[in-house]
Every structure is written in C-alpha cells, then in structure tokens.
Amino acid sequence: MSSNQNQQAGQQWNNQQQRQRQQQGQDKNCGIDRQRQQDRQHLNRQQNQQNNQGLNAQQRQQQAGQQLNNQQQQQQDRLSYDAQQNQQNLSAQRQQQQGQQNNCAQQFKQAGQIGNAQQQQQQNQQQHPRLIH
C-alpha cells in the first residue's frame, strides 16, 4: 500500500470514527431527552396525584366539618327541647304547689272556723248550762 492509500484509509477510518461518535452523541442526546420527558411526565403524575390527594383531604375535612355542624345543631336542638320540657315541668310543679298551698290555706281556714264554732259552743254551754233531770 502506498502512503497515499494509507492516508486515505486513515482518513476513512477517522471519518468512520467521527460518524460513530456523532451517532453515539445523538443517541445519547436522544436518551437524555427521552429521560427528561419521562421525568417530566412522572413529575406531572406526582403533582396530579398530590393535587387529587389535597382535594380529597379538603373534601374529607369539609365533610367532617359538616358532620360536626350537624352534630352541634342536633345537640342544640336537644338542649333547647330539654330546656323547654324543664320549663313546662317547672310551670306544672308551680301550679301544683300553688294548688296545694291554696288547699292548705283553705283547710287552715276551715279548721279555724271549726275551732271557733267549738269555742262558741263551749261558751254557750258555760253561759247556759243544761238542766240535769
């Protein structure tokens, strides 16, 4: 082989090596781009998942808050009902006590009248003793 041929062969080999390196670089870049795209997709999926979890948690908190409000409303209704019942019971007891007090006063009055009548009778007997036959 002449030196000219050797030079051409060397040049061809260099060109071939250069093409291989370029191809490998393109493949490498393509792989990097593909990896970046996959990373972006993965990140998007993670963000969507986190957003959904956040929304779900927010909905659960709202539902829990609504349940708490409902429970508090039921308790208030119950307390209000109990207070109303207690008020009615107290009113009924007061009326009953007043009735009993009126009865007591009337009985005392009657007892006083009976006592007065008996006293009057005794006085009459003392003033007008009966004749003993």
pLDDT tens, 88-126?
Answer: 999 888 888 887 878 877 887 887 787 787 777 777 777
Residue with tokens 């009459």: 124
Mean local confidence (pLDDT), 83-88:
91
pLDDT band at 73 (very low <50, low <70, confident <90, very high): very high
Determine the number of helices (DSSP H) and then strands (DSSP E) in the chain. Answer: 1, 0
Helices marked H in 1-133: 3-127
CA distance 46 to 95: 72
- pTM metric for this prediction: 0.35
Are 9 and 1 in contact, with CB atoms under 8 Å apart?
yes
